[in-house]
Amino acid sequence: MNAKQLKELVTSGPGAPLLLNVLPEEVHAAQRISGSANACVYETAFLEKVAALAPAKDRPLVVYGSGRFFRYLGKHVVNDHLHVKVHAGRVAGC
């Protein structure tokens, strides 16, 4: 998913996805997509944070981070959600 596709999805109205930044909190604070939530994949409470942020398993999630590793890990750790997409673009433009 690129930045244009993400912007269209986020502004689609009801049912818009939760944007989930899987980087450490200090990175999220410094550079993030507006309106995104944060749950760092390195924290032991990662799954609990994701469950609290998106308790409905059918709510769409868009996972993003820096580099393939974060996106891959984030997507596969939250794979119990029904609709998970990965934003592979940059934060700029979103």
Average pLDDT on 9-26 reads: 83
Q: Where are the domains of the chain?
A: 3-86
pLDDT at residue number 85 = 66
CB within 8 A of 12, min separation 6: which ones? none
Q: How far apart are CA 90 and CA 11, in angstroms?
A: 18
Provide the whole-model pTM.
Answer: 0.73
How many CB atoms sit inside 10 A of residue 49's CB? 15
Please tell me the distance from the alpha carbon of residue 82 to that of residue 18, in angstroms, as a whole number. 13
For the stretch 46-94, pLDDT in tens is 888 988 998 887 888 888 877 766 666 666 666 666 566 666 655 554 4
The residue with tokens 């944070």 is 49
CATH class entry, domain 3-86: alpha beta
- Cβ neighbour number for residue 12 with a 10 Å cutoff: 11
Question: What pLDDT is stored for residue 89 in this prediction?
Answer: 55
pLDDT value, residue 93: 46
